[in-house]
Each structure stands twice: as structure tokens, then as C-alpha cells.
Structure 1
Amino acid sequence: MQKINQRLALIVGCFGIVLLLLSVFTGLFQQAWFVFLIALWLFVFSSCCYRLTPLFIARNPLSKFIQREQQHLLLFTLSGFFDRTHGPQWLLIASIEKIQCRDDQCTIFSSEQRQCVISLPASKAELMHYFNGLFTEHEKQAIIIE
């Protein structure tokens, strides 16, 4: 996610340079729609830059996205601008067969041929450590965490 956010910030920043050049060398800055376009660019660019800060990671711990309720796992994923989340997706813990962790992403496979993919601001090691602490020893024997 960090690499993707860096690329997005770079692309949005380049778009801002084009907008700046257009406003300097043309009379577009006097148009209301162009001012709105610059305001929209500023909003998107600030969101991209915010996702690169340690504050973003601090405000979005794994416990915010993966929660356990008795026999269910609630999954939320990052979406949209700033700290917006999407979800929850409910999964019965007994139906989970495998959890595949990657940097910034987690895929959970269930016995119902269902697959949940969630985007998270965490490394593979952090995800594996979190899942190992989330499940009981009996559940860990039935679930493959890789």
C-alpha cells in the first residue's frame, strides 16, 4: 500500500504541476470550473500525502479492520479518501480454511468457496502476528496462516 500511495501521490503531484502551468500561462484561473478543478486537486493531493504519514498508520491499527465477535470475524477494508473504511464483511470463524497475508493486503479463504480480500496498512509480519494472537490454539490448528 505504501508503494501504491507513493505512486498515486507522484501522479497527482504531476497533475498539479500541469494545472499550475495552465493557470500561469493561460487565463483559465479566471474560470470558475478551473478554480473548482484546482480545489478538487488539492483535496485529492492532501489525501495522497496524508496516507504517506506515520499519523495515517497510527490512526489505522489492525484492530480497526479485523475484529472478532464470538464465532465471527468482522473485516473492514480501507477505501476512498483519508481514513474511510468499507465493511464489515462477516465470516464464520469455523468456515475459515486459510489466511494468506501479504504486505498491505490479506486474503481469507472460507469453506463456502468465498474469498475476502482486505487492504490494510500493515506488513506481512504484522498481519501474521495479529492473526496468531486473534485465534485460539484449537482454531489455529484448523486454519492455515501463511
Structure 2
Amino acid sequence: MYKINRQLALIVAVIGCVLFLLCIFTPLLAQPWFVLLLALWVFVFSSCCYRLTSLFRERNGLDKLIQRNQHQLILFTLTGFFDRTAGPHWLAIDSIDHIKCYEDSVSIFANRECVFSTSLPSSKADLVTYFNSLLTDREKQSMIID
């Protein structure tokens, strides 16, 4: 997620440079639609920069995005600007046979098919540790967490 957010911030910054050059070398700044375009760029760029900060990781901890009740995992995904989440997605723990953790993302498999995949602001080691603490020993015996 961090790599993707960094690339998005770089792309949005390049677009901002183009807009800035247009402000300098053309009279577009006098046009109301161009001012609105600049305001939109500021909003999008601030969102991209916020997603690169440690505050973003702290506010969106794994305990807020992955929860469990007695027999189900409750998963939320980050969408849109700033800290907006989508979900919840409910997965029966007994149906899960493999949880594959990557750097900044996780995929959950049931019956050898991916049933849920999302990007998360966390490292692979943190994800594996969190899933190991979230599940019971009996549940961990029936699935692979890596």
C-alpha cells in the first residue's frame, strides 16, 4: 500500500507541476474552471501526502480493519480519500483454509479460491503476528498463515 500511495503521490505531484506551469505561462488562472481544477488538485494531493504519513498508519491500525466475532472475521477496506472505509466483509473462520500475508496486503482463501484481498497499511510481519493472535490454536491448525 505504501508503494502504491507513493507512486500516486508522485503522479499527482507531476500533474501539479504541469498545472503550475500553465499558471505561469498562460492566462488560465483567470478562468473559474481552472481555479476549481487547482482546488481539486490540492485536495487530491493532500490526500496522497496524508496516506504517506505515520499518522495514517496509526489511525488505521489492524485492530480497526480486521476484527472477529465468535465465528467470523470482519474485514474493512480503506477506500476514497483520507480514512474512509468500506465494508464490513464477513468471512466464516471455519471456511478459511489459507491466509496469505504480503507487504501491505492480505489475501484470504477458502476452498483454494481467493475470497477476499485488500491492501492494508501494515507490514507482512505485523499481519502474520496479528492473525496469529486473533485466531485460536484449533483454528490455526486448520489453516495456513504465511
The TM-score, its normalising length taken from structure 2, stands at 0.97
Aligned to 2:74: 74
Q: Is the CA contact (8 Å cut-off) linking 1:75 and 1:118 kept in structure 2?
A: no
Aligned to 2:8: 8
Superposed displacement of residue 6, structure 1: 1.0
Q: Could you list the per-position Cα deviations for residues 2-27 of structure 1 after superposition, in whole angstroms to 9, with x for gaps in the alignment?
A: 11111111110110011011011111
Aligned to 1:128: 128
| SS of corresponding position for 2:64 | helix
Instruction: Give the distance between the partners of 2:47 and 2:27, measured in 1 at CA.
Output: 28
Superposed displacement of residue 111, structure 1: 3.0
List structure 1 segments (4+ residues) > 4 angstroms apart after TM superposition: none
| SS of corresponding position for 2:133 | helix
Q: Could you list the per-position Cα deviations for residues 97-126 of structure 1 after superposition, in whole angstroms to 9, with x for gaps in the alignment?
A: 100000111000113845100210001000
Residues 1:45 and 2:45 are matched in the alignment: yes
RMSD in angstroms over aligned alpha carbons?
1.1
Q: Is the CA contact (8 Å cut-off) linking 2:107 and 2:114 kept in structure 1?
A: no
Aligned to 2:118: 118
Unaligned runs of 5+ in 2: none
Instruction: Give the distance between the partners of 2:102 and 2:114, measured in 1 at CA.
Output: 18
Superposed displacement of residue 91, structure 1: 0.5
Instruction: Give the distance between the partners of 1:15 and 1:114, measured in 2 at CA.
Output: 36
Unaligned runs of 5+ in 1: none
Letter in 1 for 2:124: K
Instruction: Give the distance between the partners of 1:90 and 1:112, measured in 2 at CA.
Output: 18
Instruction: Give the distance between the partners of 1:114 and 1:125, measured in 2 at CA.
Output: 21
The residue correspondences of 1:102-117 to structure 2 (distance < 5 A) are 102-111=102-111, 113=113, 115-117=115-117
The TM-score, its normalising length taken from structure 1, stands at 0.97
Letter in 2 for 1:106: V
Aligned to 1:139: 139
Residues 1:84 and 2:57 are matched in the alignment: no
Q: Could you list the per-position Cα deviations for residues 69-89 of structure 1 after superposition, in whole angstroms to 9, with x for gaps in the alignment?
A: 110100111111111111111
Aligned to 1:33: 33
Letter in 1 for 2:99: I
Instruction: Give the distance between the partners of 2:71 and 2:115, measured in 1 at CA.
Output: 18
Letter in 2 for 1:72: Q
| SS of corresponding position for 1:75 | strand
